Chains A and B, each alone.
Chain A
């Protein structure tokens, strides 16, 4: 009887905070460490093939981290997990301390501040460059707000600013499909910027680019680091050498080595599986 009374008293207590109302906290993450992305013990397998095998990855705020690794090392799968496209079999993925990525779908993760650039440039080809950026712009992306949305002058300024940043001012009103390969890559980076994400996932941004285009892209990305946190997946070693401070080498779905480019390059394991073949 007293149990019941206690239960009722607890339930109606105005100060009582229900468990399900408590904001989720990553129990393993200490406050103030400055980690933005936290992957621990992630494994995923497709039909018995372990694409990701007990992967641990910690990204600090403001970092520009390069992920390298041979084909099939699990780089793209890792991106799929972070952006909600693939669910891991085991493990934890947290964005900051409060956002559990494994409970969200792609749009929610994008809204939370993770932007993704695909390996193959993916833009809305039939719409103008300006419209592409407008669509990507951060804001309320519900159905009704979208139906009633009107561009404010400051939003137009913001789009023009990004156009300048990615060097596509002259192509403002062209259909995105008319852009060259390199320009599409920049447009996609521009679309990421419009989302004002905290974390940018960039998959092979310089694939198929000329040397000048590569230099421009490198400049663009280094300018963005600091203000944004960037994870860059890249195959081009020269490009990685030119911009990266921290490099993580993936092999068979887990981290093989981590450190500066020089440390990584002198690591015998890395040389064996990856760089050896390159050099």
Chain B
């Protein structure tokens, strides 16, 4: 069951206490990390290594992805098990730009063709690689490709009124199909090796500390802006229509709302956010390959949101950070049990914490439901 408290929160202002606190904490953490990396010399106790900065930047892109999932799952009630696909598509669009940036510095030294194409004996660049040497074209594609896929998929699925578990299964199939396609060398996206060996972005060296700090900063900024955009949506009347669709879809239809258009719009918006998150993720981890389309990854996303707490937005961020920190720690400390602990986490959260960590926190602190809701 949905948490009534969580849903009633959305009736409040754009900048409510949770939003202001979230933005403040995010801003402070970013300032501290950037300051500690840039101001204190290596070896100082207060120094934060560039490795850690990049790791945190990666987490922030995951947090943005989780916010995108929370928007469609928590508020609209669509359990998408394929959001990893939009993330990966955004990542591939960025990867293609970074590949073109390599120029003739690749192993084979071809000024135009990326290494894997030379290796496959291709003579010329496939048409869908055109334009990716231009950053702004790539930036456009980062949003357009996931958005377009979400539009076509959503248009077909929502208009046929596919809902619930059936929709979840189709989204899984979508990401799985894309994974199989991207694994093929003939697709022209580097097959199972994907795209990697990036050199620089907009002319800046990807390995330099300054570029890494900038990417970290951009990830934090994207998270803040994405969060605010989602917050704007859920506090508008559109957000209340989304809740209405989630809780009583038929009633919403008979009230005069074209449910499929609302679902489609929010789904596409969420896919674009996921694409942006993927585009920021790729330069920081240095690789994008078809394993990002793996169904398991999309399921993991949902676990983050469930663990943090649905329909709160900040819960999704907390969940994404908590699970990924645990993952980084556990895969190093106890690599054999990592997957089991993820599974156990999902089972336990579903059974005992239907409202996630946020719900648990509210319960423990007695932050109980107000008698009246602000309209």
Contact = CB atoms under 8 A, between A and B. Distances in A.
A135 B254 contact: no
Contact of A110 (B11, B236, B255): B255
A85 B254 CA distance: 9
B258 A122 contact: no
A148 interface: yes
Most buried by A among B4, B11, B251, B256: B256
Contacts of A127: 7-8, 11, 240, 243-244, 373
B180 interface: no
Interface string A121-153: 011111110110011101001110011110000
Contact of B253 (A110, A123, A134, A135): A110
Interface stretch (A171-179, A238-246, A259-267): A171-179
A141 B7 CA distance: 21
A146 B258 contact: no
B9 to A, nearest CB: 11
B206 interface: no
B186 interface: no
Contacts of B374: 173
A142 B237 CA distance: 11
B146 to A, nearest CB: 19
Contacts of A229: none
Interface string B245-280: 001101111111111011001000000000000000
Nearest to B251: A122
Contacts of B339: none
A125 to B, nearest CB: 6
Contacts of A138: 256
A54 interface: no
A149 B248 CA distance: 21
B256 A195 contact: yes
B372 interface: yes
Interface in B327-375: 371-375
A170 B7 CA distance: 22
A268 to B, nearest CB: 38
B237 A124 contact: no
A106 B254 contact: yes
A131 B240 contact: yes
Interface residues of A, number: 37
A173 B253 CA distance: 24
A136 B237 CA distance: 11
Contacts of B233: 147
A248 interface: no
A130 B137 CA distance: 46
A135 B255 contact: yes
A124 B238 CA distance: 14
A146 B242 CA distance: 11
Given A126-B247, A128-B11, A174-B373, A116 B238 contact: no
Contacts of B262: 143, 146
A126 B253 CA distance: 18
Given A126-B247, A146-B238, A147-B237, A173 B372 contact: yes
B258 A141 contact: yes
A83 interface: yes
Interface string A104-125: 0111001100011010001111
Interface string B26-63: 00000000000000000000000000000000000000
Interface in B217-248: 233, 236-238, 240-241, 243-244, 247-248
A177 B373 CA distance: 12
Contact of B254 (A83, A148, A149, A172): A83
Contacts of B236: 146-149
A176 to B, nearest CB: 10
A143 B250 contact: no
B2 interface: yes
Contacts of A83: 254
A131 B375 contact: yes
Contacts of B240: 124, 127, 131, 134-135
Interface in A180-211: 191, 195
A134 B373 CA distance: 14
Interface in A148-171: 148-149
Given A135-B241, A149-B238, 20 more contacts: A85-B250, A105-B253, A107-B258, A111-B256, A115-B254, A123-B251, A124-B248, A126-B243, A127-B373, A128-B11, A131-B11, A131-B240, A135-B240, A141-B255, A146-B257, A147-B237, A172-B375, A173-B372, A174-B371, A175-B4
Interface of B: 2, 4, 7-8, 11, 233, 236-238, 240-241, 243-244, 247-248, 250-259, 261-262, 265, 371-375
User: Which 6 pairs between the two chains have the least Cβ-Cβ distance?
Assistant: A110-B256, A130-B375, A173-B372, A106-B253, A147-B238, A126-B7
21 contacts: A85-B250, A107-B253, A107-B257, A110-B255, A123-B248, A127-B7, A127-B8, A127-B243, A128-B11, A130-B375, A131-B375, A141-B257, A141-B258, A143-B261, A147-B236, A148-B236, A174-B371, A175-B4, A175-B8, A175-B373, A191-B255
